[in-house]
Amino acid sequence: MKRNPIVSRLTTLFSILILATISFNCQDKAGADLINEAARSGVSLGAYSGFKTAFPSARSVTWNRLQDRIWEARFTEGTTAKVALLQTSGVVVEQGVLLSPDSVPAITRTHLSETFPGSSIHTVLTDVDDEANKPWRVILLDATNARIWRVLFNSDGTFHSATEL
């Protein structure tokens, strides 16, 4: 008995559709969990996904939205308080050990107030792996949060460079 070509094509199409649906449901469980976690935290999916990939062992994460395109995650890894700045696409633009803003020396505060008038220190961080000569960075916000700068300093508090994020 000869099969009708239309029935044969419909059967093949239906079989492919069923396999694709089963495959999608099995593979996308992790993706759905990630979407739900990002939605619960109020963070863009790209930033959340990039953070989870870069810092899989992070705990006690708190999120701050610095701009439409920049998110800050403060978290702990082991006993170390850390911070990461991420674009909404998930790209990590800055990361390091979190320091107190009070740790900024007077020479640095003077430089910041003269070079970036009206801005405020949002975050101070340093590298984990450079214990001998700890250069550090300051994340500055202008008064309206429209501009964000990453300002690098040498370990003695002297200015090194600045980049607008």
Longest dimension (CA), the chain: 92
- CA dihedral in degrees (152, 155, 156, 160; nearest 10)? -30
Q: Which CATH number fits domain 46-164: 3.10.450, 1.10.3470, 3.30.1910, 3.30.70?
A: 3.10.450
What does pTM read for this prediction?
0.71
61 CB contacts (<8 Å, ≥6 apart)? 41, 51, 73, 74, 75
Query: What is residue 53's three-state secondary structure?
Result: helix
* Closest to 64 (Cα-Cα) out of 55, 51, 77: 51
Note down pLDDT in tens along the chain; length 165 residues.
566 767 666 666 565 656 555 555 544 554 566 566 767 778 888 898 999 999 999 989 989 888 888 999 999 998 889 999 999 999 999 999 988 888 888 888 899 999 999 999 988 988 765 555 677 889 998 888 788 889 998 888 888 888 888
